[in-house]
Amino acid sequence: MKDPGTSPSLVQALDFLGVYRDIIPDFRGFMEALRGEIPTSFRVNTLLADPDKVIKALESQGIPLQATPLGEWFWLAPTLRSPGHLLEHLMGLIYTQTLSSGLPPLALDPAPTDRILDLCAAPGSKTTQMAQMMANRGLIVANEPVQGRHAALEGNLRRLGVVNTLVTGYHGQNFPLRWRFNKVLVDVPCSGEGNARVGPWGELRGFRPMRRDFSRLQKALLVRAFDLLEEGGSLVYSTCTYNPRENEAVVDHLLRLRPAEVLPIPLDVPHEAGLTHWRGETYHESLRLAWRIYPHSLPSVGFFMAKIARR
């Protein structure tokens, strides 16, 4: 799918991403933003460190930093290529995390008195962020069905000093209904299109197109997450993909089955509204309140999220 106004070096990427041309504002800017690597960003871990002291220490090492719309915890380090080698990382004072990944916990807004389920938790980026927002109080159940990912999850919990979290290993769609939570985070497995980047010859990097249909699993996970909510509770559903069939269509499925409503997300971060139609499919009007994050508006990976309440 060649765009006459786009340089030939982007043609290969357009073959895959061009399907979203009609739903991504400034599609040319979107494609140009995908050149090169995903900008490095990190979160200062206030469970162990003071943000001002950490930032001064990093800047004293000659690392240029930029503030972000996500607040004083999140920083961009555009020239930093190996943050995992930093002493601050090894000590748990910072945690490498894309800006998009930091948005679902901010939207869920955990409080120290909450009981929270992170249904698909590994490697723990959002779990540890929520623990930080809760000041290590309350309770988080970090569920991860793949046993091979528990070591990374538990290692991050220990390194960042998290003590209010327990780890479980259920398949999310079968998580026991005998438990109830007032907040649930559902960051589901997805096709991962938001990680795609464009190489110098227009090739897709950081992403391999998959034939697997994730939507059935995503719908099952979201419905179970909703059923685990207390009356009046809320959840956030998120993916790192652009595909409406993994995003708006999944939330629309829940709205048809359960007494659910989509809520506004009170954050001041650049985004686009969710879709109400796509290729002949029509979604609930309230999905305009969902968020689509594109790399040319926020220097990060592509993302989708919706905040949902149990009426």
Residue 122: CB partners within 8 Å, gap ≥ 6?
144, 146, 149, 150, 152, 153
Do 258 and 241 contact (CB within 8 A), yes or no? no
Nearest to residue 127, comparing CAs of 91, 95, 85?
95
Radius of gyration of the chain (CA): 19
Do 305 and 267 contact (CB within 8 A), yes or no? no
Residue 98 burial (C-beta neighbours within 10 Å; 0-12, 13-18, 19+): buried
Distance CA 207, CA 142 (A): 26
In the chain, what is the straight-line distance between the N-terminal and C-terminal CA atoms, in Å? Answer: 44
Distance CA 71, CA 255 (A): 32
Active site residue 240: yes
Do 299 and 99 contact (CB within 8 A), yes or no? yes
Do 80 and 68 contact (CB within 8 A), yes or no? no
Distance CA 244, CA 131 (A): 30
**Residue 294 identity:** Y
Out of 131, 217, 240, 308, the active site residue is 240
Do 224 and 173 contact (CB within 8 A), yes or no? yes
Q: What DSSP state is assigned to residue 140?
A: E
Q: Compute the C-alpha angle 201/202/205, nearest 5°.
A: 105
Tell me the catalytic residues. Answer: 240
